[in-house]
Structure 1
C-alpha cells in the first residue's frame, strides 16, 4: 500500500478525529486542523501513537476566511500535495425559527457552508490529480428536525454546490462526495447546549431505530475511508446515508 496524504478539518474530536485515527493507523500521512491550539496538540499527540503515519497539525478556524487562506498558503510553501480532503468541521446551535437570530444564522453558515466552500477553493493548488474530497453532511438535509432549520440549510447548501463543483473540477481530477451521519454521539450535543441528562435521553430514544442504538464516530469511518480510496473513483456527488435507519 502506498502512503497518501490527507487533510481533515475539525479533527480534534468526534468524526474528524476518528477519521484521522483510521488514516494514520493505515500508515497514511494526515494533516489535521482545529481552532483550539491545546486541543489540536492533544489530538496530534494521540494520533501519533495510533499508527505509523505522520501527523501534522495546523491551526485553522473554518469560520474565518483569513485563517483558511493562511492554512492553505502554509501548505503551498511547504510544497505539500494532498490526495484527499475531509471537510468535517461544523457547528450546530439549535434554535426555533421564530427565535432565530442573525448571529446564529451567520455563524452557522460561515462554518458549515462558507467554510468548506472556500477551504476547497484555497486548497486547489495543493490537491493532486486525482484527489477525493469528502464532505461530512447530515441526515438533517433529508429529515426535518425542529430547531435545525439553519443547520439543515447550511449542509444542504454545500451539497448543492458540489453538483456544480464536480463538473467544474473534473479536469483537475477532483471528485466530491458526501457522508450524511445520522444522530451521532459526539461533542456536538454538549456544544449545542444539551445537558448530560438530555444527551442520555437522546441515546435512549435512538434505541428504537433499526440499528438499535445511537451512532458513534466509528460508524462513519468505513464510509469515509471508502470515499477517500481509489475504490470510489467512479463516484461523483454520491450521498452515503449512515443513519442507522433513522430516516426510513
Structure 2
C-alpha cells in the first residue's frame, strides 16, 4: 500500500466482480474509503469484512433512478462527500446485426450509457472540487468486431460523453477521463451469448493479436484507475486511456 488515495471517498458501480471488484480492492489498498454498488451485494461482503471501517456495500441497479438516489444519499450519510466516481456497471452481448432489435439495443444502452450518465448526474452535487470521474469504455471503439454493434456503440457514446463532461465540468474542478480495457478475463466474457466452442475460437483469434498473447486481468485496468484517480493525474482531462496490450496497433 502506497497511500495514493488516502482518505479519498470512491464510489464504484458494478463492483461485485471483474474490473469493478478489482478497482474497489485496489482503491482500498491505497487507503481510500470505498462505496461498492451492485445487484449482487453478497459477493461484496468479503470486502466489507476485510475493511469494515472504510467499505460501504449498497445493493441496487444503475437503471433505477430510485436506487441511484439511495446510493447517493447513503454515501453522503456515511462519508459526507465523493472524490472518485467510477460508473463501471455494464453488460456485453454478442448480437448479430440482423437480430439487433430496438429492445436489444435499448437494454444495452440502458445499462452501459444511461446507467453511467445518470450515475454521474445523480452524484454531481456531492462531487468535490478536485474530484475524478472515470468511465469504463472498451478497445472495441477503436476497431470493428462482428456481433457487437450495440455494445460498441454504447461505449463509443461514453467515450464522447467523457470529452463533453471534461469540458463542461472541468471549470468546477471535476476531472473526467475514461479507461478502454482490452480483452480482459472477467466473468462478463462468459455471458456474452456464445457457446463454449465459439468462445474458445474467439479467444484464440483475439489473443493472437495481443503482444503478450494472452488476455489481460482486471488488475491491469484497476492499476490505471488508481493512477487516474490520484493527484499524479491532475493534468489529465477528457482522455480515454487505451489499455489493450497492443490489440489496436494492427
Instruction: Give TM-score scaled by structure 1 length.
Output: 0.91
Per the alignment, residue 244 of structure 1 pairs with 245
CA contact (8 A) 2:94 2:194 kept: no
Per the alignment, residue 169 of structure 1 pairs with 169
Taking the aligned partners of 1:86 and 1:228, their CA distance within structure 2 comes to: 9
CA positional deviation for 1:86: 1.0
Per the alignment, residue 184 of structure 2 pairs with 184
CA contact (8 A) 1:27 1:53 kept: no
CA positional deviation for 1:98: 1.3
CA positional deviation for 1:6: 0.6
Matches within 5 A, 1:96-111: 96-111=96-111
Per the alignment, residue 44 of structure 1 pairs with 45
What 5-or-longer segments of structure 1 have no aligned partner?
Answer: none
Per the alignment, residue 54 of structure 1 pairs with 54
CA contact (8 A) 1:25 1:53 kept: no
CA positional deviation for 1:53: 6.5
Deviations along 1:144-173, one digit per CA (max 9) or x if unpaired, are 111111111111112212222112212321
Indicate yes or no: 2:9 matched with 1:5.
yes
Q: Which stretch shows the higher mean deviation, 135-144 or 192-201? A: 192-201
Indicate yes or no: 2:33 matched with 1:14.
no
Taking the aligned partners of 1:242 and 1:32, their CA distance within structure 2 comes to: 23
Q: 1:174 to 1:184 in 2, by over 3 A?
A: same
CA contact (8 A) 1:32 1:58 kept: yes
CA positional deviation for 1:76: 3.6
CA positional deviation for 1:77: 4.3
2:215 aligned counterpart, secondary structure = coil
Report the aligned-residue RMSD.
1.8
Q: 1:245 to 1:79 in 2, by over 3 A?
A: closer
CA contact (8 A) 1:63 1:107 kept: no
Per the alignment, residue 221 of structure 1 pairs with 222
CA contact (8 A) 1:62 1:68 kept: yes
